[in-house]
Amino acid sequence: MMADKVMTRDELAKYNGQADQPAYVAVEGVIYDVSANPAWQGGRHHGNLAGQDLTDVLLEKSPHGKRVLKDLPVVGRLAE
């Protein structure tokens, strides 16, 4: 079930995992909370930064693809 919160890209950028902020990433318009994932400690994962839309990175460059998203909490959706 998707959360009702809608965020702009500027709002999403605030959730970068720095300064005690949670770490959120967007993929295909859905915003996921990666804060509890040890691979995203400090808001970074293999050169990628939280607080961004990582659709292209996940679909085109990631070895694990979208399957990694299934266990992440959904925070909301990205405004178009």
| Single-letter amino acid, residue 14 | K
Domain membership of residue 44 as a residue range:
5-78
Model confidence, pTM: 0.90
How do residues 10-54 score in pLDDT, each as one tens digit?
A: 999 999 999 999 999 999 999 999 999 999 999 999 889 999 999
Q: What's the structural domain count of the chain?
A: 1
- 2 or 16: which leads in pLDDT: 16
pLDDT at 21: 95
Task: Return the SS3 of 28.
Answer: coil
Query: What CATH number has the domain bearing residue 47?
Result: 3.10.120.10
Q: How far apart are CA 76 and CA 64, in angstroms?
A: 22
- Asked if pLDDT for residue 1 goes beyond 50, the answer is no
